[in-house]
Copies of this chain bind each other. A is one copy, B any other.
């Protein structure tokens, strides 16, 4: 699949950017192939050509700006007493990147009965599986899920719901406060 169309325009990238923006602003249910196409200034058939369905478009929009398998493997190596702190810092620094954050897309998915399974698949595949594959001992997948829910729950509390003092505390203080819990899930 080519990513750049005529005149070197990155049509696929433009569609994805429009989709991210629409899912984040209007929610999953109110985003349509047609509205994304209009926003990206392309024909709806082209959106279908590149992505195939709204579900697939959302899944691609949720994709992090890096390969989580590669990134988490790097961040968690070596799996020592500072791994938890490195993971928390990495997560906080990458969750709010770009115009339309992962938090906004998670919110969009949570609000839709069709979005929930896509969100589940995203968290299971991109985060839980990867972390579970890198740690040892019993209940690895459960511990990996708790890392995911703690970090995602805290991001929603900090960036979306803006719970005081979570929303206002500086990043280093938050890293210090949350790292022991994450470390204990990594190396109980």
**Which A residues are closer than 8 A to B by beta carbons?**
27, 107, 110-111, 116, 119-120, 123-124, 128, 139, 141-143, 145-146, 148-150, 152-154, 156-157, 160-166, 169, 173-174, 177-178, 180-181, 184-185, 188
Contacts and interface: CB of A to CB of B under 8 A. Distances in A.
Contact of A160 (B110, B154, B160, B184): B110
Contact of A163 (B111, B124, B143, B185): B124
A163 to B, nearest CB: 5
Chain A binding surface, main DSSP class:
helix
Contacts of A124: 163-164
Contacts of A162: 116, 120
A154 B123 CA distance: 13
Contacts of A164: 120, 124, 128, 141, 145
B161 A110 contact: yes
23 contacts: A27-B111, A107-B111, A110-B156, A116-B162, A120-B163, A120-B164, A123-B163, A124-B164, A128-B163, A139-B173, A142-B165, A142-B169, A145-B157, A146-B154, A146-B166, A146-B181, A148-B163, A150-B150, A150-B154, A153-B153, A153-B156, A180-B188, A181-B181
Contacts of A184: 180-181, 184
A180 B182 CA distance: 11
A173 B139 CA distance: 9
A150 B153 contact: yes
